[in-house]
Amino acid sequence: MKLVHVVGARPNFMKVAPVLRAGQSIAGLIQVLVHTGQHYDPAMSDSFFQDLGLPAPDENLGVGSGSHAEQTARIMLAFEPVLDRHSPDWVVVYGDVNSTVACALVAVKKGIRIAHVEAGLRSRDRGMPEEINRILTDQLADLLLTPSRDGNDNLAAEGIPPARVRMVGNVMVDTLLRLRSVAAKRGMPERLGVKGADYAFVTLHRPSNVDDRDTLSELLGALEDLGSRMPVLFAVHPRTRRRIDEFGLTAPNGPVRLLDPLGYLETVNLVDGAALVLTDSGGLQEETTVLGVPCLTARPSTERPVTITEGTNRLVASRRVDINAAVTELLARRAGGSFQPGRPEGWDGHAGERVISALLESRTTVTATT
């Protein structure tokens, strides 16, 4: 059996790594890694391959940036010859980026079966491009591999036959648990002078937060206020840095330190030691849940509600006053000892193995039941 794994952006890299590792020991299983190049900045891509111990991609499409339509179209045009060269049994797509839906569309048109890892997540906010990608990919996929039980429920409500759905758990958590001790050796808190102190770690990159001047100004103001309570380490996405400059905003300074994009291990090391995380990232919602770190997500909705009901996450409006109030409440709960997070089912470090098992078991069952 031959699998073509498709990745395109940083979150995909953490998800594919445990699946590739799990498949290495399976006799007769051929795996091909395709990187679409959706994240084309080496600071945002190459270092992650190194940190995760991923092999060099067998195919690198190098599509680069562009509007959603341009990028999706370029990925489709570049991916079709890849399928002609490799003739896989399955195309395995990950997450919810443009590469995910683009390659699924090409595969289904060519009659090649599709497995979607991280299926069934829903924010119910169609203003998020990722939500559209999730919905369309799940409708195209032959095998839908969910990270949590709410994913199964969402797919059932959308009429997906249960025979096509498997709850495998969270593959990103596999990578986190495997590399947590390695990340600790990076010594980032020491290098940044915050070892032994409470500090906040921040990432902000979503268009809804950084492409609107007023919203970005509110968030930067909230970081200034947070900096009066504790040191703030702000890993600044290139998009966010461009918008700060374009809008003529003043970046916070002093106790708010602006960092260049970080590698995966450096990020995990800093998140693991943080008193709190402020983010709009989907992946950090999951990682803070596993690490037991309080997380404030500056978004009106999340496709990962299990991080709220069972983990450390809570949603907060992207306004200065709301973030200040949420920080005050969170720190009070933490100081009072009432902060007691859990860990969702299947977030145990073995999801990659379950993905491979589901693919092997579905060689005949998926065809028979669809």
Taking only the tens of pLDDT, the chain with its 370 residues reads 999 999 998 889 999 999 999 999 999 999 999 999 876 565 556 677 888 989 999 999 988 888 899 999 999 999 999 999 999 999 999 999 999 999 999 999 999 999 999 999 999 999 899 999 999 999 999 999 999 999 999 999 999 999 999 999 999 999 999 999 999 999 999 999 999 999 999 999 999 999 999 999 999 999 999 999 999 999 999 999 999 999 999 999 899 999 998 999 999 999 999 999 999 999 999 999 999 999 999 999 999 999 999 999 999 999 999 999 999 999 988 887 766 778 899 999 999 999 999 999 987 555 444 4
DSSP track, 267-316: HHHHHHH-SEEEE--HHHHHHHHHHT--EEE-SS--S-THHHHTSSEEE-
Within this chain, do residues 204 and 291 fall inside the same structural domain, yes or no?
Answer: yes
Convert the pLDDT of each residue in 82-108 to its tens digit.
999 999 999 999 999 999 999 999 999
C-alpha 229/C-alpha 246 separation (Å) is 29
Does any domain span residue 194? yes
Q: Does the annotation mark 86 as catalytic?
A: no
Within this chain, do residues 127 and 228 fall inside the same structural domain, yes or no?
Answer: no
Q: What domain range is 312 assigned to? A: 187-336
In the block, residue with structure tokens 């992207």:
318
Within this chain, do residues 222 and 314 fall inside the same structural domain, yes or no?
Answer: yes
Predicted structure pTM score: 0.93
Q: Please report the pLDDT score of residue 61 as a whole number.
A: 94
Count of domains in the chain? Answer: 2
Within this chain, do residues 97 and 220 fall inside the same structural domain, yes or no?
Answer: no
Within this chain, do residues 25 and 162 fall inside the same structural domain, yes or no?
Answer: yes
Within this chain, do residues 204 and 353 fall inside the same structural domain, yes or no?
Answer: no
332: three-class secondary structure by DSSP: helix
| CATH number of the CATH domain containing 287 | 3.40.50.2000
Does any domain span residue 199? yes
User: Residues 5, 68, 116, 205: which is the catalytic one?
Assistant: 205
Does any domain span residue 181? no
Within this chain, do residues 357 and 322 fall inside the same structural domain, yes or no?
Answer: no
